[in-house]
Each structure stands twice: as structure tokens, then as C-alpha cells.
Amino acid sequence: MTAVYFDPGFDDAKQRERLYAGDIIIISPSEKTKQLIALAKGMLEEAFAPHDPRYIQDHMPVEEVVSILAVLKPNFIHHPECKRLISGILEENGQDLDKIYFDVPRMRSAYPSNFLSSGIAYAFHAHRDTWYSAPMCQLNWWMPIYPVEANNAMAFYPRYFGEEVKNNSEIYNYYEWNTNNRASAAKHIKSDTRTGSSCCCG
């Protein structure tokens, strides 16, 4: 049975043991995570000013929101402060920076389905990241930019962690996705016709 730990204080080896077993670890905000969230929040609020980004669907047409996200998201992903802060977050958590690789952060956005649920704000179906070229050793960190509510957070399905799950990952080609499909995400506003988009990131 999957366990959920809150600030367990595990060392790196124990933490990996529990995560690879399918457990979930929740860590309280730290100085560096707060700084990363402040950076993301500041960029969001500047891009959508004077409106609250959480309710932008009430103030802007979908095409304008998509055009803003198409610039904002890569700017955040490649912001020089992100790499510095992520290194600091890992170090705060007891990771040995000489023995770890990390990816750049992704900013996820979700809106009501009648506004935008495809392309750059694709609404993800339940999936395993390993179906889409994530290495088996990968550990995912998730941080909310705004307070979490029951209807704006992800869901986990622990009963499937140790079971085979039918999927169509054989159609997914990571090289093709990065070469062709990722760059076209902002073009998919009303629907998403990219191969492999049923579970992949935009």
C-alpha cells in the first residue's frame, strides 16, 4: 500500500527507496522553493497584468492567452535563476549535486475545458511518465504556484503502481515529439491532433 510521508527527514538513500516503492513524500516550503515560486508567480502576474492569472479566462480571449503562454513558458523554463534555484533546492534536500542530473522546470497551466484544454495547456490523462521516455530512475518534484484546492491539483492512483496498465506508448517517439510536436503546441487551441498527445506534455 502506498504511504504518504510529510517531512520525514529521510537521507537520500531512504528517500529514493521509498519513492521507487511508490510512496509519496511531501516536503514543506523551503527558502529556495519559495524563491522559485516567487519567480514563477512574478512572471505570470507580469504577463497577464492587470488581471489575476488564475481567472484570466474571464478577461481575455483564448487566442490571446495562448500567445502569452507561448512566450511565458519557455522564458520561465530557460530563466537563468531557475537552474540556480533548483540546485539550491536539491542541496537543501540533502542531494549530492555531484551525483545527480536535473531537468529544467516546466510551468503547467490548466483552464476550464470550455476555454482551453489542448495544445499549450493540454489537460493530461492519467499516465506513467516512463511511457513517454522518462528514465526509470527519474524522480518528479511538483510545486504549486498558487494555493492548492481540490479541483486544481493532480491525482494519484496508487492501486495501479504495481499493476500493468494498458497504454499506447508504442506510438510515441521522443525525438519526433521534440522536433515537430512540442514547437506546435500553441497552434492547437480548439483540439489537439498531435500523435502521442493523449498523455504527453505540450
At 133-151, the pLDDT tens digits run 889 999 999 999 999 888 7
Task: Note whether residue 171 is domain-resident.
Answer: yes
Q: Which of 15-19, 28-32, 98-102, 187-191 has the lowest mean pLDDT?
A: 187-191
Task: Note whether residue 41 is domain-resident.
Answer: yes
Task: Note whether residue 196 is domain-resident.
Answer: no
Q: Confidence band (pLDDT; 50, 70, 90) for 113?
A: confident
Burial degree of 20 (CB within 10 A; 0-12, 13-18, 19+): exposed
Q: Confidence band (pLDDT; 50, 70, 90) for 199?
A: very low
Domain that holds residue 86: 4-187
Q: Which residues pair with 174 in a beta bridge?
A: none
CA separation for the pair 128, 125 (Å, rounded) = 10
Task: Note whether residue 158 is domain-resident.
Answer: yes
Question: Helix 62-77 to helix 31-47 angle, to the nearest 10 degrees?
Answer: 140
Q: What are phi and psi of 94, to 5 degrees?
A: 85, 15
Q: How high does pLDDT run on average in the chain?
A: 86
What pLDDT shows up at residue 189? 56
Task: State the pairing for strand pair 24-26/4-6.
Answer: parallel
Q: Which of 89-93, 142-146, 170-174 has the lowest mean pLDDT?
A: 170-174
Q: How many domains does the chain have?
A: 1
Task: Note whether residue 193 is domain-resident.
Answer: no
Task: Note whether residue 29 is domain-resident.
Answer: yes
CA separation for the pair 21, 161 (Å, rounded) = 9
Task: Note whether residue 105 is domain-resident.
Answer: yes
Task: Note whether residue 200 is domain-resident.
Answer: no
Task: Judge contact between 171 and 195, C-beta under 8 A.
Answer: yes
